[in-house]
Structure 1
Amino acid sequence: MSFLLFGITNVDRMDVKGLLRNIVILELIFFFPFSKNVKIPNFYLYFGVIYIFISQISYILGIGSIISFFTSNYPYEGDAYYYKADYLMAHANNMSLTNRNFRLGGLYLNPNQCARYLTILFAVFLCENHKKKIKHLLPFIGITILAIVATGSRTGFLIAALMLLWFFYRKTEKSGYASKFLFISLVGFIGVFVFLSAGELSQSMRFLDFNEGVDKSLSMKIQIFIDYLSNSSLIQTLFGNFSNDGLSAIQFDSEWGDLFYRYGLLFVLAFILFYILVFRNTAPEYRLYFFILLWVISSTLVLSYRAGFVFLLCLSKYTSDLWYPQAKKWFAKNNSDIINKI
């Protein structure tokens, strides 16, 4: 409906690239799940996170050959000057793992994108190793947390922390102390985080400064959303604008806002139902992967070409174990009903 309404009223603004982008997104959802739960060896996961971490610290260490390798193979295609390799190399002396003014995006250059892929790798690692002892997982956990801290991403750090809490909760569930562990861990985490964020550390470490995230980011996006609703028609509210043009679309700067602007309220509700259905068809040991969805608050996920495919590919992998058997039962039942009626 969004496409038809846009096509009728804006034929001259029809963008082929934008149209193909929307078709790809809808295909990923329509054909979900499209991969089976194949085991991913830890070697590839370690390689991925170390590869990203090396690309981050190469700027701090000033290793020109490594920086040149990453910039030539992963060139920045955006317009923001502060993500360009020349600008980053010129300010390499001021960089550190905790400098909030020069966040380390590594090979992605954009630190939020870097953090997004790191959290996906982290979620996959925890899902793949849910049966292993914690001591065997500590090296990967340590490297990943350090790399996420270096990006300065508040959302990335929050997602990683929540996944760890859920992972440890699942580990203690069989012992009968899961509820106590979860309560103590949550209280402890919130207490330590409030203490650190209220002190001087939050001034230098961006990932601890959640006050800025709420006041300058989230509240602003909510106000933009309210302003958009007050100025949009009922048709736009229900079915969106299909395109991503216009000042409101740029200001939303989040997946929930972009989805609402592009496709409208009905699509957003359908999308939420889709995730609920997928969640119900995912085994409990893999459900920590859904914490990745918190990225929709501050960034894009499915609407990002590359990240959307990677996210849904892994989600499809962890859903397929329960999804395919139930789908077979459903088709078998309905086919038999149709045959009996005939």
Structure 2
Amino acid sequence: MAHHITNFTSQAPLHPVAREALLGAFDQGWADPDKLSYQSSTARILRDESVATIASHLKIAPHHLEFIADPALGNFYAIAGLLKPSTLLIHSAIDRSEVMAIAHDRKSMQLTVGSNGEINCDSLEPDLPHDSLLALQVANGETGVTQQCDRIIDLLPTSKIACDFSSAGLRVPLPHRWDSAFFDAKSWQGPEGVGIIAIAADDQWHNPLPHIGPQRTTSSVSLPLLMATAVAIDSWVSDEVSESQRLRALSSFLRSEIHAGIPDCDIAGDLDSSLPHINSFSFLYVNGEELLRHLDRAGFAVDSGSACSAQNLTPSHVLAAMGLLTHGNVRITLHHDTQHDDVVALVAALKSAVSEIRST
């Protein structure tokens, strides 16, 4: 008999409507949209329609968007495309590792965060150089904490702004001022391998990768995946209208049950200033890997550590920056198909697992 697992990890399957559309997309979108044949003309229309759908939901004009096949390069495109050798790169202590890597070998400034995960605006110096760039993580993928983007941007009136929407997706609106932005189609249950770079002004951004020719990027995303991305965003947005409040209520229930039922637990961030579906808990005297295995045996898949895989359960630099426990951590992500009974069962399994681990 197959082992049933209820998914509370950050990853979710392709949206069911997009999955149904994908096979047809492969049948229709196989031709090169840039060639002159009839099939290519059809493919070009499908491409333009898909881009227009995505752009309308992002509230960004289509000509400002570039599509990349490797979302892992998304922050690099968004940030490095705005950098000059003299630019001061400003980022927070809870940014993604790829942002830290960009900052490592250049002039940079790291902003601290409070115990709630929000950037300490007092750490922004009033006399920052005119040539500076803020890498602004709109929402943190480990804790769900969102930043006061407009307030932070107003404190840096001369800085360029590169926004990371890879976790926030469409759940947080664009700030009033931005120069580049990165989105990942997976944030709305789109397919793997579709990243979106938004570029506000062509004359302020350059392709940071070696290239020949005038194209801003290689635009290497396959047309069927682009079409599936458009279908997914349409369907996900329609679902989210009712699901957002339901998921926030489920997260509130989850947090209150864990707080009341398991002592010595850190809960990361305030739900009122977080995404509605991401929750992070750290338990004193508990090994995170052991806790994951207990939950897996009980039928629940969750995340833990800075990147959850069998090879990497390293302590989270995000939790460390917030001054929270970095061991015994689980990240619980709620999805559109998560039900109240699923959360009740997970809470019971967590209580049992933590109690058993602490007693050994």
TM-score normalised by the chain length of structure 1: 0.26
Query: Whose helix proportion is higher, 1 or 2?
Result: 1
TM-score normalised by the chain length of structure 2: 0.25
